[in-house]
Structure formats: structure tokens, C-alpha cells
Structure 1
Amino acid sequence: MEMLDKAQPDLSLDELRFLVTLFETQSLTQAASSRGLSMGAASRRLSALREAFQDELFVRSGLQMLPTARMRAMLPKVLNLLSLSQSLFSSDAFDLANTRRTVRILGVDNAVMTILREAIGRFAKDAPNATIEIRAIDSQMFELLRTGRADIAIYPLKTVPKDFHVVELYHSRRGILVRKGHPLIDLYNKKGFISAEDLHPYRKVEMNHAGAPDFGPAVDPPQEVGISMPYFLAVPYALMETDFTYIAPVLTLLNFLRDDRYELRMLPAPQQMSAFTPSVVWHKGTHSDPFLQWVRGVIVGSARAEARRLGVVEEPEI
């Protein structure tokens, strides 16, 4: 019982939950809202936690609060403590190294290539016995999350039903992918920009994720469809021998440009269709699940780190 005799900070479970929420969202504003705190109360809570742990825990980078090495190392222990407290009332326990749970993620195929790539490596290292199951987005997205048949969705949504949570990963932009020698390249070199009217003469490659929520901006005048398909990774083959265009997040297009097999070029998308903000979405029923809290934190942190590393993050105007 010697450990109990040592003076230790008196921390509540709610304070630990606040740390986990801040780790997930990397936003003091979103963490405060999620925990039902005012901004002042959230700032005071973070200050008290910093003093208790003798560490900054989170450092500001632009509009984000990035976890320190100490906070990243602490997270599994914090989640374990929260799980142990829940085990007083439940038989479920959080054991990251030994859990054999399956996390079910809804997304499109380029989410694996861009948003989940680094997270998968972290997942395999820290939860070596757990499994990731990725399913395609469709019209049942919210129902699958609501009924527990899926755990997390990755999709560019800002508005969700009231019983859901959403965290924006980062603010970025879209680009236009075309073949080498496409007429739009010369036009861009002359004008310095591409307008929706400039795109109109050329047909487009369109993704047809059946029933998925529509997030694309309306374009006037609209482009006709040259080919419609559900596979992002097949796009280069549709462009190399045609004058088709394809508009997608810059991070996705950069992966195509790095492949020497494709002679493709990227141009900036028209301003009205340029903004792109991917998000992580989950139902309130899984909000306090320690394992899924850890998974969401890994996805958010890894996706933001890679986007910053590749220089595709744009700070929103305030």
C-alpha cells in the first residue's frame, strides 16, 4: 500500500475523459463542446492537468492542439484507467496489446491510401491482435453506425444527425488531374487559373459510390460524364488516353503523380469547388468506448501528420 501513501494529484475520471477527447479532436473548442464545458473552463482544466503531469500535454500548432510525446505515451494508460472504472459495472476491459476486437471502418478506397495509411501501421504495432475491417460507404452509413454494425466513418461531411459526433481532420483543397499534353495545361499557363467554364468542354471521370452522401460542390455549367466508376485507383487509366478530367483531393492526386507509370499533370480546381475537409464520424453510442477512442485518436493524429508533411493543409480564414 506504499503507493497509496505517496502524495499524488487528485484527478477525476471526467478530467481523464477530457484528455482523451482533446487527443481525439486536437481542438480545444471541439473538446470543450463535446464535454459540455465553456472555453474558459476547458482552458482552466487543461492548465490544471499540465500542472498535475508536469508536462505541456498539448502544444498549439496553427489551429490544432498536438499531443506531446508524454501525452502519446500516457494515452493507453489513461484509457486503461477509464476502462477499469467501467469494469466496476461491466465485464468489458481495455487491453490494447491483447485485444482481439475488430474495428469496422466505412470509407472509400482512397481513404486507405491517404487518411489511413500511417494509422494502419500504428494499429498493427500497438494492437497486434486486433483487426481492421474496411467497408464501402453507401446509403446505410448512418444506420450502420447507429446500430453498431460499423464503428467509424471517414467522409467529408460537416453536418451529421444530432446523435452523431464529427471531427474535421484538416482543411485542404481539390485539384484537377489530366493527361500530359491536355489542352487545359496550356490554358492554365496562359490564364493562371482554371474556371468551371473552362472545364465544360471536357467530360469528366465521376465516382459512383451508390447511395453515399453527396459532398461535392455544385458546378455551373456542369460537366458531362465520360466514365463513371467506384474505384479511385483506376482513375489514371481512364485519363491517360482521353481528354477526360478528374477532380479530387490534392492528397489523392499526389499519390498518382508520384507513380512514373502515369504521365499525368495536376492543375488547381476552380475556387468554388476547391475546398476539401475530410472528417471522422461516429455514433454517440460508441463515444466512450476506450478502444474506439484510441482508434479515433490514432486516425486523427496520423492523418493530420501526413497531410502536414505533404504540405496540403490550409488554415481556414478566421
Structure 2
Amino acid sequence: MNDRMMKAVLYDRYGGPGVLYTGRVPRPEPAPGEVLVKVRAFSVNGGELAARAGRLRLLTGRTFPKRVGLDFTGEVAAPGAGVTDFAAGDRVWGVLGRTGFGSAAEYLTVPVERIGRLPDDLDPVDAAALPVTTTAITALRDKAGLRPGERLLVRGAAGGVGNAAVQLGRAYGAEVTALARAANHDFVRGLGAHRAVDHRDVRPAELGRFDVVLDTVGTDLRTFRRLLNPGGRMVTIAFDLKRPVASLGYLAASTVHGRGRVRFFSGNPERANFDDLARHVAEGKLRPAVDTVFPLEETAAAHRELEAGGVRGKYVVRVA
């Protein structure tokens, strides 16, 4: 077998999960300042589902084949020129972020500043549920400034970022209300939620008032913004993909009007964020929540399950 080739998950046209297939592509070589990572596992994220379906085609274009996979765990296979702080064999985790997709593969190259050291006591497959939770840390601690005793509402509480927000909210001393399907209420309570509510049975206006709202869904932002107490803060990591122009326009207008504005950001973690994540894990503030583990050849099934809804934590894909 040609060791210059590797397996990767690809698609040749936009569409449903069925467009994904496992093909062979050239194994990359690290440029100066990069590392070559042998991938052990990655998780499936909502953004890549939207990209695969063509909802972001104005950004992703029409050049095919395209790749999937945003985050990863693995080992450094080879450091590029000028890299001195990581060596072959070092266990790492990271997020490709704005550099694009492509972690659904046996190897990837990534700038050295976009990885961190994977804690020794974490299994790399379980740990693949955690890299994107750096978004929850940034959202609650840095963007919202969540304080002990405040009331926190987490929308999409059983999902990949939402489950981490529930754990962190409890660890930061907040009173946590989790919006999730009734079938997931025991799950989110087990993560630390003081109260679990089925978003399909209760109108937002009946939820009460909150100091911080963390939204992972992106729809009805105006409605949930009205739940803020005076001085409250709302952070969203998503926008309405069915109405992207209107949704982003509302976010921009909200930012101009400072009181009760909705803070929107897209996670783009670097080394310091992964160091933070490792500390949160070591202090017991965060633990990985893995729903199901799929083999690489069944990445399409993982996409299909995430689109169906009801995930508890993360769907993780193990690379052989």
C-alpha cells in the first residue's frame, strides 16, 4: 500500500449525509510552523452539516471534492520546520477553525498554534468530544462574564457545546436552566442543571428571567433576548441558517444597541484555549459526554444521526 496516500471522508456535491464517502487522497506534508497529526478521533459538528448540505455555499464555493471534520485528537507524526515545542509522539487535540474542514482523515496538517497537549489521563476517543467546548468556556467566562449566583439559561443544552455550558455554569456557581427534549432531562440534570425544561412544551415567556442566556440554536433570538434581566447578557454561537441575511442583520443591529445586545462569535481556539480546557478538565469542571462512537467508514451515519436530533453530548468518529 502506498504510504503517501491516506483515507479521508469526502463529498463531490452538496446534499444529505449520503453524499459522503471514504476515499483516498495524498497524505499531506507539514509546512514550516505546522505539524503532521495522526488522527485518532474527531467529533461531528453542526457547522459542517450545514456546509455539506450547501447552506454555506457562498463561503464554501463549488470546488470539489470537499472534506469534513473540524476538531480532532491524535499524535504528532512529524513536526514541520521551525517547530520546537512539539515532537513526534506527543498526544494533542485541536480545532481547525477558520482554516477549514478536513479532520475526518487518517492524517492532517495544522498550524502549531492551533493545537494543545492532550491530558495524559484522557482516552483520545472520549477526548474528541471536548475540543469544541472551548467555545462554551469563552462564551460564559469571557463574553458573558457569568458570575456566581446568576441565573443561566442554556438553549440546546444536550448538544455538543450546550452540555459543556451546563457543566461550566454549575461549576461557575450559576443557577442553570437547561432547555432540552424531555428524553434528555436526566442527562442534563446529571451534568449539573438545576432545572430542565422541554422547549416544545413551554413558551419562552414562561421560563422566567435570566442574567445570562447562552444560545446554540440561532433561531428566535429576539424572543430569548426579552428574557434578560436588566444588565443581562445573551451570547449565541449560531445564526438562523434558513434566514441567514435577516439573522445576521439582527445580530448586527443588536450589537449597535448596547443594552441587552446579543453577542455572537464563532469559536477559533488557539493554544491558550486548549490550556484552559485542560485545566477545566483537571479541576473537574468539564468531562467528555460521548453519545455514540462510529468508525470512519460510517461518518455519514453520524451526520444522519446528528441531523435527526436528540444527541446527548457528541457523536464521535474513531479513526482506525
TM surpasses 0.5: no
Relative contact order, higher structure (CA 8 A, sep 6+): 1
Q: Which of the pair has more CA radius of gyration? A: 1
Whichever structure has more helix as a proportion of its residues is 1
TM-score normalized with structure 2 length = 0.24
